[in-house]
Amino acid sequence: MPVRLCSVDSVKELLLVPAAETALDSVLASIVEEVSAACERATGRSFSEATYTDEQYRGGGESIVLKQYPVATSPAPVVKESSGIGTATLAATDYVIDYAAGIIRLQTTATWRQRFLSGPAAVLVTYKAGHASSGTGTAQRTTVPDDLAGSVAAFTAAKYRNRRGMISEEELAAIETRSLSLWMRHSRLGW
């Protein structure tokens, strides 16, 4: 099922459509999925919970900024370093993880090393990250931060109104600009 970063019910609420009215559900679900996909493209993120296996990082620094976040605590992430002679799994005590931000830092107490190995694909990380899904039917959505869900719902409602001739292209463009601005707060593009 495609990702829904807001529920159809939340869009209906913005459109002042009673929850029991189901005639628009499939149209609104389609627009929610379209806007959610646009949000993921704009942020360079996948918001659905998924497992990433041996994701490659350059290394060479004191920390690794994972591509996806928040990171799940279970199963615990596995960090490996790869060199020309082989691959070694780091002990979980060698690093700390900021699960919410998706950042892995070497422990400062590991005095024998100050940086991850350097080089292309020198660090390999296997982890689970993203936001779980909740609800069913028109209430189904991926549980992203409220500001992101609200922005997707507002842009979805605006796209529906625009298709019905209720708002102009200029008004839609202004809402899209505000949405993109908010979405970029949830992005790592440009890091």
What secondary structure letter does DSSP report for 82? E
Of 68, 48, 82, 87, the residue nearest 127 (C-alpha): 68
**Mutual orientation of helices 146-163 and 169-183 as an angle, nearest 10°?**
160
Which range (68-72, 112-116, 162-166, 172-176) has the least confidence? 112-116
Residues 6+ apart with CB under 8 A from 53: 126
Which positions ≥6 away from 126 have C-beta within 8 Å? Answer: 51, 52, 53, 54, 55, 77, 78, 80
Q: For residue 77, say if its preceding peptide bond is cis, omega within 30 degrees of 0.
A: no
What does the pLDDT average to over 151-177?
Answer: 97
Q: What digits encode the pLDDT tens for the residues 41-68? A: 999 999 988 999 999 999 899 999 999 9
Cβ 43 vs Cβ 147: under 8 Å = no
Q: What is the pLDDT of residues 94-145, one digit of tens each?
A: 899 999 999 999 986 655 667 888 888 899 999 999 988 877 777 777 788 9
Domain boundaries, the chain: 8-46+132-186, 50-129
Q: Which residue has the higher pLDDT, 39 or 109?
A: 39
